[in-house]
Amino acid sequence: MIKDILKILENDARTTTKQISTMTGTPNAEVARLIKKAEEDRTILKYKTIINWEKLGEELVWALIEVKVTPQRDVGFDSIAERIYRFSQACTVYLVSGTYDLLVIVVGKNMHEVADFVSQKLAPIEGVEGTVTHFMLKRYKEDGEILEGKEEVRRQPVIL
């Protein structure tokens, strides 16, 4: 039951407890209790709105930064990852497999701001061996939402 409630909220955080109650057949008070418990135990971490800032003329620069690090004794990558995710500029930090160890997503007002973050804060961290920055040129879809236009079903014609 809680998984059904969480899936509904993950898809649309504005869904009311009454709507969830109707959708799941769970009493409204029970839905509210389960949501409150999930918030308290940090199963629900945050309610998020996806904004297309370009529609408001707000030009932000998004960057994906690959970070190669030397794991530290007894803590592996966690200590360096924590130092990085504590920076306000780091929107997202993942440990990944492949040629680099951490993927950091940064948003800045301009390329210079992102470059300053990398050169002055990220690269000097002890244990960081190197970084590669990829600037996002255009965002098409984020968290399952298409940013421009509407999703259309496009099917190939069936020829009999």
To 5 degrees, how large is the angle CA 97–CA 43–CA 73? Answer: 40
For the chain, the structural domain boundaries read 2-40, 53-138
Fold (topology level) of 53-138 = Alpha-Beta Plaits (3.30.70)
Cα distance between the two ends of the chain: 45
Query: What pLDDT was estimated at residue 19?
Result: 95
Three-class SS of 137-158 = CCCCEECCEECCCCCCCCCCCC
Q: Token match 């997503």: residue?
A: 105
| Structural contact between residues 77 and 45, judged by C-beta atoms closer than 8 angstroms | no
What is the per-residue pLDDT for 155?
A: 62
pLDDT score at 147: 83
CA distances from 134 to 8, 62, 138, 140 (A): 33, 9, 12, 16
pLDDT value for 72: 87
CA 159 to chain centre: 42
pLDDT for position 98: 94
pLDDT of residue 118: 97
Cβ burial, residue 123 (10 Å; 0-12/13-18/19+): middle
Which pTM value belongs to this model? 0.77
H, E, C per residue of 46-77: CCCCCCCHHHHCCCCEEEEEEEEECCECCCEC
Per-residue pLDDT of the chain (160 residues; tens, 9 = 90+): 899 999 999 889 999 999 999 999 999 999 999 999 999 999 999 998 888 887 888 889 999 999 999 998 888 899 999 999 999 999 999 999 999 999 999 999 999 999 999 999 999 999 999 999 999 998 888 888 888 866 565 566 666 6
The reported pLDDT for the residue numbered 48 is: 86
Amino acid (1-letter code) at residue 160? L
Task: Give the model's pLDDT for residue 11.
Answer: 87
How far apart, in whole angstroms, are the C-alpha atoms of residue 68 and residue 77? 10
